[in-house]
Structure 1
């Protein structure tokens, strides 16, 4: 245990100063003259699944609860949490949110490794509502991931992108960009239930897949990235995206044009926009507790090391979130993704994950995944190798202490096991396991 805890012993807490006007908990914001209107329950929204005391602000893309909106233009259940500190100045309303994890990660077996790193995100947005009901929203998101180094962190069975522009990352999770999102959206109501909207990002997230894993309630408390990331939501950072959409009450249809190439190995710059790929997505929230989506993407040259290989991607997901008492919640995500290359070879990925928080102190989370991958053992001379079916399962928990109305400190741990076929057992030493210890700060 001394070896595990030593990297964490000298960590210092980050003091985040917020404007005086923002010193309020997001569930009980002080009244502000410029505050966006709340989404009324009688406007076609069944709010029975939400905490009775929750204050629900209107969404930025339409007349629904803001809790419905997740990463990019994706939807989650209305019963979800909306984390953020809000304040107003003139005609503008601002939001800030942050989560930073200091993690010690160890992965066992011949292909394992260990590392201490910082991950997370810092988000901010500025919103203006106009007299005709339209809304302009500007959003920025930063990540400390690049500071962990180009090789990211150890994660058995994960693969995708490159560390140095020459070597593919295998059994490691790549770091995300320093700037994860710079976006603007504009929504205009047509009727009481119909809205059209536009979203542009550089970088941003196109209309594909469920909300990105760090924004899903079923995943956001775990510092471990899913190995299904490149099946379901790896397009959440693309350098150039434009989305147009229409929403009618609980149904949303949208289409995106975006840059297919994944970010290069330089995580601090801005890659040139190409707008050479496209995606479509249909989303439906039948009740306050459910969010369903189906999407398709045609992606041009996603991999830097194989620029002439294109992908077609399919995704279907269902998210259920329920409130537990005044402060608790339970969220589950079931998702399937398929990647099809130019040779009509398909690879499927399955994910089932969930998290439960009975109060504002404890959260328990778990995940099970199964993927078909040809990236774990590269072919002789480079490129993808043989196709293998592998699986991973993890379970963990985190305990939070509230330091102030808007600041929480948490300590957590997780344990994971990996399953590989017999042909890969000599490389992995059987079915290796691993784990993570982490401390975190959350501003919300």
Structure 2
């Protein structure tokens, strides 16, 4: 409990300090040139080419794209996506700080139908600094710093989440728990060059970072921001978002982007404070398409060498496809939807599929959200006895979550929300002895996060 209170105090102090610095650094109003005012809720950011030179504002990997298209790693969001954060400017640099922290109580298997549920008070969290500046007239330098204090608030074994699997603790697989994220979840640099308004190229290096595979990671998707839980399909889509050693080369051709990565396949080890060894033994490729300001589509494939520490002999071929939709509605409301599919295939094992559909509707201070998942879990994923269940058995799991969040306070461009959600799992009959029939989950939380950046260009 002391750790949670300390974390909350640290974040509150951080937000106050950022806001004070922001107000201190704001330039005086200059009536001799057109002003760029905060107005409306369109979610669009002016391009760097349209801005004064002392306010470099653009996408992280292109001078010609709006900042709203920034996702996680080098992934794309729709241009109409909302952005929540604090903006700071200097003469040549633009900085943005954003993050998410939940102080919550979660209870998995509230009816005690099985033996694998658990409950606890915890605080999933992350914070991120983005910075960029122009290099000459066509170049852009950018860096990201992302940290998480999960290891302090969640412990080494993470938080309870039925049917979740991935990584390990004390040389045992983590099952029915979401692992904590590393203290340094991203330290990356990139350089991009604009050949024309429709063509640019970039190079990205992260230690750690995120390779070009899967959709935008769940903690950065607008459709998932109010949900404290990681998807149980996390390791079918965006499980590589913390990779110790990744290099990506990409090129944008108008509405399309093609990129390839080499990276370390092994997932982070149990020490959440160190920097794991770089190996660059895996690869991936991704094709992204933005047909309009409301859509971001991608397909990707990758070979991941020995991702799990406890099964070093297993390599994974992962294929994903996703569609993200975002649109403003009337009266400062908006809707965000994500649909994705992932396939993990190891040699001499059947392919394991996962499907996720999640959505969120913002109605002024209230957000309604839901998530549906269908995931094929194996004996290995659920840490089951192969003699009893059969070595190659696949267990389909359906999970449905619905929740509501309400902003209690909006002070100094910082919001405090209260929320809760309810989940139900539909599992295979053969797992009733461990999980019961249709186990239930519930949680309540307080959420602290930055306000919406309502940037719109007006002359």
**Common fold: TM-score over 0.5:** yes
1:102 aligns with 2:100: no
Residue pair 1:336, 1:351 contacting (<8 A) in 2 also: yes
> Structure 1's 381 and 30: CA in aligned 2 closer, same or farther, altered over 3 A?
farther
- Please give the residue correspondences for 1:39-438 in structure 2 after superposition, counting only pairs within 5 Å: 51-52=41-42, 54-56=44-46, 57-62=57-62, 63-108=64-109, 109=113, 110-147=115-152, 148-164=154-170, 166-343=171-348, 345-359=350-364, 361-374=365-378, 375-380=381-386, 386-438=393-445
> Structure 1's 91 and 308: CA in aligned 2 closer, same or farther, altered over 3 A?
same
> Per-residue deviation at 1:128?
1.0
- Alpha-carbon distance between aligned partners in 2 of 1:260 and 1:285, rounded to the nearest angstrom: 28
Q: Secondary structure at the residue paired with 1:425?
A: helix
Compare the two structures and name the one with the higher helix fraction.
Answer: 2
> Per-residue deviation at 1:111?
1.1
Q: Deviations over 1:39-89 (max 9, x none)?
A: 9xxxxxxxxxx9458543421211111101100000011100122211122
> Structure 1's 325 and 169: CA in aligned 2 closer, same or farther, altered over 3 A?
same
- Alpha-carbon distance between aligned partners in 1 of 2:8 and 2:195, rounded to the nearest angstrom: 51
Q: Secondary structure at the residue paired with 2:412?
A: coil
Match of 1:15 among 13, 16, 24: 13
Residue in 2 aligned with 1:42?
none
Number of residue-to-residue matches in the alignment: 419
- Alpha-carbon distance between aligned partners in 1 of 2:249 and 2:166, rounded to the nearest angstrom: 29
- Alpha-carbon distance between aligned partners in 2 of 1:377 and 1:369, rounded to the nearest angstrom: 20
Q: Secondary structure at the residue paired with 1:332?
A: strand
Q: Deviations over 1:111-143 (max 9, x none)?
A: 111011111211112211123221101110001
Unpaired runs of at least 5, structure 1 = 1-6, 40-49
User: With structure 2 as the length reference, what TM-score do the two structures score?
Assistant: 0.86
- Alpha-carbon distance between aligned partners in 2 of 1:23 and 1:97, rounded to the nearest angstrom: 17
- Alpha-carbon distance between aligned partners in 1 of 2:269 and 2:28, rounded to the nearest angstrom: 45
- Alpha-carbon distance between aligned partners in 1 of 2:411 and 2:132, rounded to the nearest angstrom: 26
Q: Secondary structure at the residue paired with 1:18?
A: helix
- Alpha-carbon distance between aligned partners in 2 of 1:296 and 1:313, rounded to the nearest angstrom: 6
Deviates more, 1:420-429 or 1:282-291: 420-429
Give the superposed CA RMSD.
2.6
Residue in 2 aligned with 1:4?
none
Residue in 2 aligned with 1:46?
none
Q: Deviations over 1:221-260 (max 9, x none)?
A: 1001100100010000000000000002211000000000
> Per-residue deviation at 1:378?
2.6
Q: Secondary structure at the residue paired with 2:18?
A: coil
Residue pair 2:45, 2:67 contacting (<8 A) in 1 also: no
Q: Secondary structure at the residue paired with 2:123?
A: strand
> Per-residue deviation at 1:406?
1.8
Residue in 2 aligned with 1:44?
none
- Alpha-carbon distance between aligned partners in 2 of 1:53 and 1:121, rounded to the nearest angstrom: 22
- Alpha-carbon distance between aligned partners in 2 of 1:173 and 1:351, rounded to the nearest angstrom: 17
- Alpha-carbon distance between aligned partners in 2 of 1:31 and 1:186, rounded to the nearest angstrom: 31
> Structure 1's 403 and 30: CA in aligned 2 closer, same or farther, altered over 3 A?
farther
Residue pair 1:317, 1:334 contacting (<8 A) in 2 also: yes
Residue in 2 aligned with 1:440?
447
- Alpha-carbon distance between aligned partners in 2 of 1:197 and 1:11, rounded to the nearest angstrom: 36
> Structure 1's 384 and 21: CA in aligned 2 closer, same or farther, altered over 3 A?
farther
> Structure 1's 395 and 246: CA in aligned 2 closer, same or farther, altered over 3 A?
same
> Per-residue deviation at 1:216?
0.3
Q: Deviations over 1:81-112 (max 9, x none)?
A: 12221112232221111221111110113211
Deviates more, 1:231-240 or 1:118-127: 118-127
User: With structure 1 as the length reference, what TM-score do the two structures score?
Assistant: 0.89
Residue in 1 aligned with 2:49?
none
Q: Secondary structure at the residue paired with 2:79?
A: coil
Q: Secondary structure at the residue paired with 1:334?
A: strand
> Structure 1's 171 and 349: CA in aligned 2 closer, same or farther, altered over 3 A?
same
> Per-residue deviation at 1:171?
0.8
